[in-house]
Structures are given as structure tokens and as C-alpha cells.
Amino acid sequence: MSETEFDLVIVGGGPGGYVAAIRAAQLGMKVACVEKRGRLGGTCLNVGCIPSKALLQSSELYHEACHGFDDHGIEVKPKLNLDSMLGRKAKIVDELTNGIEFLFKKNKVTYVKGAGKIISASQVDVVDGEDKGKSLTTKRIMIATGSESTPLPGIEVDEKQIVTSTGALELSSVPKHMIVIGGGVIGLELGSVWKRLGAEVTVVEFLDRIVPNMDGEVSKVFQRTLKKQGIKFKMKSKVTGASKTAKEVTLTVEPAASGDAEEMKADVVLVCIGRRPYVDGLGLEELGVERDERGFIKVGSDYQTNVAGIYAIGDCTPGPMLAHKAEDEGIVAAEMMAGQKPHINYDAIPGVVYTFPEVADVGASEEKLKEAGIEYKVGKFNFMANSRAKANGYRDGFVKLLADKKTDKLLGAHIIGPAAGELIHELTTIIEFGGSAEDVARICHAHPTFSEAVREAAMATQDGAIHA
């Protein structure tokens, strides 16, 4: 093969694309990855998952120093250095993006810098960027271009006063008042960051509850917990317009159903009403690649589109818009191309909200089980009764397990509390292997740990938790 001939060309270097590239290379394919950002890692690493988690960690430590150290007998007077905090975040991003470039070199993946356009099932041209003018020929093409923030009609984003998650990660000062439009994961995480650093935060949500795809009981407790932290909520409301001056933004807000409009003022407005597939400039229309009514690329069980030789994974395809889902799809798609027979269990993909407390779930919610007519039993254990949580000063939250009433098969797990994003994986493993609640209850868990709350919840589905 020449330098421009490949077994697989991947368009998009985010979590799905770069992971697929490395796995395909490990399986013996000659791979190129075309990325127009100029840095690998996609939205997740550059302006999403990673920088937001860095700021969540920093802001949590700052808030704890301001409000929680006294309980531990530690007397300090913390001072916020926002420039330094943002600099730490940027350093982490740089280190990780450079790390992916190293992995590409290690695995002999060709990194092509620029915007790729698919000319045919065997050709990708670089139409902009550092490598503009290159034409790549290939046996297969994988689209992994991810997603972008969904715009809100009547609201013009400038990434200064009216921002998406991208702008919210780069604010030069702490807002006096931030309004977050949307009560989903991204809005609540970034709202939590700026609340901890001193902003007044108000969430405006169209529905009657936050994180509506999560278990209803968890959603209610989560909102109540965030209210205790000082975040305000305006539910069943929609934003229909915005006007700006040099110092503030005025939003027009109406009831979701009907009623009189009102005005709300803030110095920063964060628009987080969801994300949509990003496929601009790929040439999909000319090629006849089918998309659904929401713009997602349709794929089969092998992630191939209706055009033979063109595949798609991640946020630009239907399903949960999660970095780890995209990574798994990239690995599985590459392995299928190599003749292997991997699988993904879409019922065993965990979701996490990285606020404090964290919220995590996997499998079915009570609402989904009721809708499906499945009889189930509930086991629940509060962190208030967990010795490690009490020793660490964490009292809010619980572990909730849902098991089949007849077979005891674990169907769903829902956690709100400390380290929920880590604890959920034990239960993800059980669901993946088709295990039961009793299996969890029978496994010895170290004492004292947060994990004991998981075991106690499993015991609660049987004859009863010990420490409840």
C-alpha cells in the first residue's frame, strides 16, 4: 500500500474514532484517522467530559475548604485563583491529547489533520486544515464525528454571555448569576461548578423533573439535594427569547403549557438543552447515506450504513450519547471488520452525573419496568447507615436495586451518593453476566467501604438488609 492507501479511514478523532483506530491497528489493519479540530480526543477530551471533571474536582475541593473543613478540625481561609484553576484544567487536557498522539504513533495509526469529506465508499478527501488536498483511498470508512450542542431558537450563542458547555468551561470570572437552560447532565454539572465557586445558579427546565431519563425516585431526591446546595429550579418553563446589554442577559420565560411570560436576568446564560449529531460537510446526502428523523445515521448490527463499506459509530448514530458507548462501538465495529464476533449489551451501559453527590445508573428504571409489565422487587439502602459514608461526613443518598420478582435477575441499579460513578460498575458486571441480586448479596465486601451499601441494597431484595 502507498502512504495514502488504507484498510480503514476513520473520520473523527473523538473517543469513538481514536479508540476504533487503535483497535483496528492492533488487529493488523492499516488505519488513518482524519480529525479537523487540530487535537485528538473530540468534544469529550477537549471541551466536554475531561475539562468539566477537572473543574468539578477543583470546585468541590474549594467548596469543601470553604464550608466543610471546620467539621474536620481544619481551619483555613481559602482564596479562589480562577486563572490557576483553569490552567490546571488546560494542562490536563493537553497531557491527554498528547497521550493519544503517542498511542497513534505506537500503534502506527496515521493522523491526518483536517476536515474529511467522503467522496465514495473508498475515498476520503481532506478539504480543509493542515493536510488540505490529501486524498485517501480505503477499503472501509468509519464515521465517528460525534455531536454538537443543540441550539435553542431565539437564543444566539456568543460563548461569552450566552454560552454552550464550551464557553462555560472558559469563563474569565465567576458570574454573579448564571441561568442554566436545561436540567440534564451537562447543565447540572457545569451549574454545580459555578455555584460552588460563588455564583447564584438557576436552572430553567421544560419538564417537571431534572434528568428525566433516570429513575423517578432518584430524580426527585437529586433535585432536592441540589436545592439544599443552593441551586434554584424553575420547572415546566420554556425560554422563548433573549436580549443582551454589555453587562447582562434578559430571558423571556413562559410556562411550558400556557400562561404569561416573565423576564429573568443573568450575567451568563448556559444553553444545555441536549446534543445533536454532527455530520456537516461529510457529503452524506450526495452518497445517499440514510439518516433518521432526528438526523442520526442509520446503521445495522455491524455498524454499516445502507451504503456498503461506510460505517458509523458513537453520537452520530442512535442510542445514548456517551463517550464510553462510542468507545465500545469503535472496538466492536473494528473487531467485526476483522472477522471476530464481539457484542455490546446496550442494557448494561452505565450513566453517571458527576455532581456531588454523584448519580449513576445501569439497566432499567422502575418506570421502564412498569411500562414493560415486568414484575419486580426493590432493595434499597441509605448511605446514612453506611459506616464509611458516616465517617467521611456523607449522609445523603442511597443505593436502589431492581430485580425480577420471580427469577431474582438484576434488572436495574440506581445510586445517588459518594463514589456512585465507581460503585455502579459492580452492578454493571452483574447485569452483563445475567446475575441475580442474591449474587451481589453473597459476595463479601470489605469493611468499611461505600461498596457495602451496594451489598446491603442487594440483601434488602432478599430477607432484609443487616444495618437498615
Instruction: Quote the CA–CA distance of 387 and 183 in Å, as a whole number.
Output: 32
Q: What is the per-residue pLDDT across 316-338, written as a single tens digit (0 to 9) for each?
A: 999 999 999 999 999 999 999 99
| Domain 162-273 superfamily per CATH | FAD/NAD(P)-binding domain (3.50.50.60)
Cell numbers describing residue 369:
419496568
pLDDT exceeds 80 at position 1: no
Q: Coil, strand, or helix at residue 383? A: helix
Q: What is the per-residue pLDDT across 196-216, written as a single tens digit (0 to 9) for each?
A: 999 999 999 999 999 999 999
* Residue range(s) occupied by CATH 3.30.390.30 in the chain: 348-460
Query: What is the value of pTM for the model shown?
Result: 0.96
Instruction: Quote the CA–CA distance of 193 and 171 in Å, as a whole number.
Output: 11
Q: What is the per-residue pLDDT across 396-427, written as a single tens digit (0 to 9) for each?
A: 999 999 999 999 999 999 999 999 999 999 99
- 447 tagged catalytic: yes
Q: Please report the pLDDT score of residue 337 as a whole number.
A: 98
pLDDT exceeds 90 at position 258: no
The hierarchical CATH code for the domain 5-149+276-344 is 3.50.50.60
| Domain 348-460 superfamily per CATH | FAD/NAD-linked reductase, C-terminal dimerisation domain (3.30.390.30)
Q: Please report the pLDDT score of residue 391 as a whole number.
A: 96
CB-neighbour burial class of residue 148 (10 A; exposed 0-12, middle 13-18, buried 19+): middle
CB neighbours (10 Å) of residue 285?
Answer: 9
Catalytic residue among 72, 324, 414, 447: 447
Cell numbers describing residue 269:
446564560
Q: What is the DSSP string of 271-311?
A: E-S-EEE--TTS-HHHHT--B-TTSPBP--TTSB-SSTTEE
What phi and psi values does residue 325 have, to the nearest 5 degrees? -65, -45
CB neighbours (10 Å) of residue 21?
Answer: 32
* Residue range(s) occupied by CATH 3.50.50.60 in the chain: 5-149+276-344, 162-273
Q: What's the first-to-final CA gap in the chain, in angstroms? A: 66
Q: Please report the pLDDT score of residue 2 as a whole number.
A: 74
The two counts, helices (H) then strands (E), for the chain are 14, 22
Instruction: Quote the CA–CA distance of 363 and 91 in Å, as a whole number.
Output: 35
The region of weakest confidence among 131-135, 256-260, 376-380 is 256-260
Cα 424 from chain centroid (whole Å):
15
Q: What is the per-residue pLDDT across 286-319, written as a single tens digit (0 to 9) for each?
A: 999 999 999 999 999 999 999 999 999 999 999 9
Q: Please report the pLDDT score of residue 3 as a whole number.
A: 84
Instruction: Quote the CA–CA distance of 272 and 294 in Å, as a whole number.
Output: 18
pLDDT, mean over the chain: 97
pLDDT exceeds 90 at position 15: yes
Cα torsion angle, 169, 172, 174, 177, sign: negative
Q: What is the per-residue pLDDT across 146-169, written as a single tens digit (0 to 9) for each?
A: 999 999 998 999 999 999 999 999
Q: What is the per-residue pLDDT across 421-466, written as a single tens digit (0 to 9) for each?
A: 999 999 999 999 999 999 999 999 999 999 999 999 999 999 999 9
Strand 177-181 to 268-271 pairing: parallel
